[in-house]
Amino acid sequence: MRLPSKRAKISANMAFDDRQDRYPFPEIEARWQKAWADRQQFTVTEDPGRPKYYCLEMFPYPSGRIHMGHVRVYAIGDLLARYKWMRGFNVLHPMGWDAFGLPAENAAIDNGVHPAVWTYENIDNMRTQLRRMGISYDWDREVATCDPAYYKWEQLIFIRMLERGLAYRRRSRVNWCPSCQTVLANEQVEAGRCWRCDSEVTIREIDGWFFKITDYAQELLDWCDRLPGWPERVLTMQRNWIGRSEGAEFALPVVGRPDLRISIFTTRPDTSFGMTYAVLAPEHPLVDRIAAGEEERRRIDAFRAEVARETEIERLATDRPKRGLRLEARAVNPFTGGEIPLFLADYVLMGYGTGAIMAVPGEDQRDWDFAKANRLPIIATVKRPEGWREDQAYTGDGVKINSRFLDGLSLEEAKRKAIDWLVGEGLGQAKVNFRLRDWGISRQRYWGAPIPVLYCERDGMVPEREENLPVVLPRDVQISGKGGSPLAEVPSFVNATCPRCGGAARRDTDTMDTFVESSWYFLRYCSPTYDRGMFEPAAAAYWMPVDQYIGGIEHAVLHLLYARFYTKVLRDLGMLKVDEPFRALLSQGMVIKDGAKMSKSKGNVVDPDDLIRRFGADTARLFSLFAAPPEKDLDWNDRGVEGASRFLNRVWRFVHANLPELTTAARTPAGPLSEAGRAFRRVIHGTIQKVTHDIEHDFHFNTAISAVMELVNALHDFERASLDGMARPERSALLREAVEATVLLLGPVSPHITEELWAALGHRESLFKQVWPTADPGALARDEVEIVVQVDGRVRGRLTAAVDAREAEVREMALADGKVRPWLDGRRIAKVVVVPGRLVNIVTRG
């Protein structure tokens, strides 16, 4: 009876789309986006009088179009930003573009379009797409890292780092395509071959710039314990990446060569008496001097060429045979005084430790495998446990054996004593080693920030003068994908004057790793147009650190570690007060579809534009947040999107169908509530409590949204049930309270429809200037609870007890329960466990 008439009313009042019966989201979303922009609602300035909240999502690479991963991360960020607005914070929520990088150069090679043109067109497209999502960005703070006004400051910091020895030059290995005559990124190497010409990739040594992140290894590690807002799994990955290990460093003399000593690092100095051979990395610089003659030199070169074809992952794999080459020279184990053979082997890397190891096959599995393959002796220096089969290395604890003055000691004691001995003999010392390597930042690419140094015949390497910055990337350049750095082909760029002597000098033609730009963009947002420095000190002092950083788990190590490092460098340069850039981190999972990452080749891509056109941004955002908790992968499902859309429509319809009653109702129910009214009010306030908790506690927006859905379900039930038997003012006031709570709680998720509904409910001010609702403890209070009764762990009955019922009382009720008694017949009660307010478990025997 009521439904048809209600339906008629709905159609007449609400301008539903005729065909689809959907609320008019295109118009609503456009209108509110314009209103927020016109009012500059999310434009912020520093306001010391209010608590600040800096909410940041990892900025995108301007690939051309946003994808669902972007929708997800920005929906998460915007929810938090808007929530914090409603909580009274002064929220900084900026957006920009990680605009340098390889794809722009590839586009230039493939389509002949200039990287700058390509990049800025993409930015324009993506900005339009993002605006359609209705994110609360302060667009006045937009930055693009390819802007000289941006990278100028990065060049300045480079020079400061150079002055402090934090930037230095050395040789390093790169992938080289002999056919294209160019350096390849790892990404451009496919199964050992060049992705363009399919030639076999080789390794080349070239000079490049490094940042000395290893100087900060200990501090970066220490602060992992002081970042409680970070996910533990990311901190664990960072700790492992930094890879601190304690041990000893000492020298092995080369037999007959008093001029040569091989320095080795070991975490197990206690096993030194088990050293039966030693290994150098094939790249080790001493190898050339150790080589005995022409013939051995040739063998070494051949071996090096073989190893050069292996990736580091292959070289370190423990499940494949290790390659080795025995050298003619021998070394001395200083502990035993005995001679041991020397090898080159692929499993020893130049980049870790000293690039040489003492091999202890008895207590190291890789050494064991290599020793077995090369018929080398194996000596046990730790007593094996009872029944140990001598078929693998023993890496466990135990008493030292076969180790002369270390015999009988525990492993830890022996480590200390071995080091003491080394120190006493003047052979070595205790040493802390890190797995972390310095950060190579030189790229032989065009589309990046130029490295601001020159090379002068007379003065050598000279940094550019500060007043000459930025060193601007020249526009006219040929990008072919062949040959060296494209900048080397631009005479007007290369040929410059020496900042020191004024003579002729050549500029460095490499550009910086794009990770450098992304290591400080969050600082630039604090004062994006400031032109007297990287950032305005007062602005950075106000906004930093970022309170909540949000981005993909794939950045768990590299980007996040580099940004932490860069921040510490700036602090040590006296520019910044904070020690860490990101107070809290939310690592969100990927968006997948049909069990696989979205990709064009798999044909499972969902286009956000298309989605927004069909369902609206509010629905797209709602679904992204509802379908999975943020840290997990999200399996995209088109049907699920329809469900999200259906939910918003349901809310829309309910509000409009009851508008007259809602707008005339009292704000709070007058007088005492009926029992049904109290029950409903408990649902309302329970929802407020749960949503707030889920947002604050663990970012589980999916359960927050499901709680609102439950409230809406309860709202419908209440609306129907309260028609009879409830006083009209009570009903109306409760309906209003519930609807307003729904709209407020849903605001950060789906901001356009909720603004519209909020206005329809008679409010003049923006929803996002409202105060977030708080749960009324009085409304939450209940006087009875349901208690589950188990017999031997199985649910056999349930009973209702007073909240404050005593344990003995509940126990008696359970034992007397009619449903429970038959299960106790003929059994002896061994024990009764009472969990207050939850359950009773009656344990029987026999």
Partner RNA sequence: GCGAGAGUGGCGGAACUGGCAGACGCGCUGGACUUAGGAUCCAGAGGGGCAACCCGUGGGGGUUCAACUCCCCCCUCUCGCACCA
Q: Looking at residues 766 to 795 of the shown chain, list those that interact with RNA (rule: CB under 7 A).
A: 786, 788, 790, 792-795
E strand residue ranges, 632-759: 634-636
Pick the closest to residue 625 from 553, 566, 701, 552 (CA basis): 701
Write the CB contacts of 282 (distance below 8 Å, at least 6 apart in sequence): 300, 303, 304, 307, 325, 344, 345, 346, 348
Per CB under 7 A, contacts with RNA among 574-633 are 590, 597, 626-629, 632-633
CB of 435 to RNA, least distance (A): 4
CB of 64 to RNA, least distance (A): 20
Q: Which is nearer to RNA, 196 or 437 (CB)?
A: 437
Pick the closest to residue 524 from 134, 53, 98, 131 (CA basis): 98
Write the CB contacts of 410 (distance below 8 Å, at least 6 apart in sequence): 397, 399, 400
Q: Which is nearer to RNA, 577 or 597 (CB)?
A: 597
Say which amino acid occupies 511.
Answer: T
Q: Which is nearer to RNA, 556 or 673 (CB)?
A: 556
Helix (H, G, I), strand (E, B) or coil at 592: strand
Per CB under 7 A, contacts with RNA among 267-296 are 267-268, 281
- Letters for 678-717 (x = contact with RNA by CB under 7 A, - = none) are ----------------------x-xx-xx--xx--x--xx
Helix (H) or strand (E) holding 178: none
Q: Which is nearer to RNA, 557 or 575 (CB)?
A: 557
634 binds RNA (CB under 7 A): yes
Q: Which is nearer to RNA, 44 or 213 (CB)?
A: 213
Q: Do 657 and 10 contact (CB within 8 A), yes or no?
A: yes
171 binds RNA (CB under 7 A): no
Q: Binding RNA by CB under 7 A: which of 326, 583, 798, 811?
A: 798
Q: Which is nearer to RNA, 389 or 639 (CB)?
A: 639
DSSP string, 257-278: EEEEEEEEEES-GGGGGG--EE
Phi, psi of 105 (to 5 degrees): -70, -35
Q: Which is nearer to RNA, 409 or 788 (CB)?
A: 788
Q: Binding RNA by CB under 7 A: which of 135, 156, 561, 739?
A: 561
Q: Which is nearer to RNA, 149 or 788 (CB)?
A: 788
d(CA 753, CA 33): 11
d(CA 777, CA 682): 9
Q: Which is nearer to RNA, 313 or 771 (CB)?
A: 313
d(CA 823, CA 821): 5
Q: Which residues pair with 788 in a beta bridge?
A: 798, 839
Q: Which is nearer to RNA, 268 or 330 (CB)?
A: 268
Per CB under 7 A, contacts with RNA among 444-473 are none
316 binds RNA (CB under 7 A): yes
Q: Do 406 and 414 contact (CB within 8 A), yes or no?
A: yes
Q: Binding RNA by CB under 7 A: which of 556, 586, 659, 775?
A: 556
Say which amino acid occupies 91.
Answer: V
Per CB under 7 A, contacts with RNA among 95-154 are none
Residues in contact with RNA, counted by CB under 7 A, come to a total of: 96
Q: Which is nearer to RNA, 115 or 247 (CB)?
A: 247
Q: Which is nearer to RNA, 561 or 726 (CB)?
A: 561
12 binds RNA (CB under 7 A): no
838 binds RNA (CB under 7 A): yes
CB of 429 to RNA, least distance (A): 16
Number of H helices, E strands in the chain: 29, 32
643 binds RNA (CB under 7 A): yes
User: How many whole angstroms from its chain centre is CA 345?
Assistant: 35
Q: Binding RNA by CB under 7 A: which of 110, 191, 226, 313?
A: 313
- Letters for 347-366 (x = contact with RNA by CB under 7 A, - = none) are xxxxxxxxxxxx-----x--
CB of 844 to RNA, least distance (A): 9
Q: Binding RNA by CB under 7 A: which of 5, 186, 492, 601?
A: 186
436 binds RNA (CB under 7 A): yes
Say which amino acid occupies 589.
Answer: G
Phi, psi of 702 (to 5 degrees): -65, -40
d(CA 84, CA 688): 15
- Looking only at the bridges linking them, the beta strands covering 324-332 and 585-588 are unpaired
Q: Do 565 and 601 contact (CB within 8 A), yes or no?
A: no
Say which amino acid occupies 464.
Answer: E
Per CB under 7 A, contacts with RNA among 536-555 are 553-554
Question: Of 120-128, 317-325, 497-505, 748-756, which segment contacts RNA by CB under 7 A?
Answer: 317-325
Q: Binding RNA by CB under 7 A: which of 86, 237, 726, 739?
A: 237
195 binds RNA (CB under 7 A): no
Sign of the torsion formed by the C-alpha atoms of 169, 173, 179 and 184:
negative
Kindly state the tokens that stand for 351: 């980049």
635 binds RNA (CB under 7 A): yes
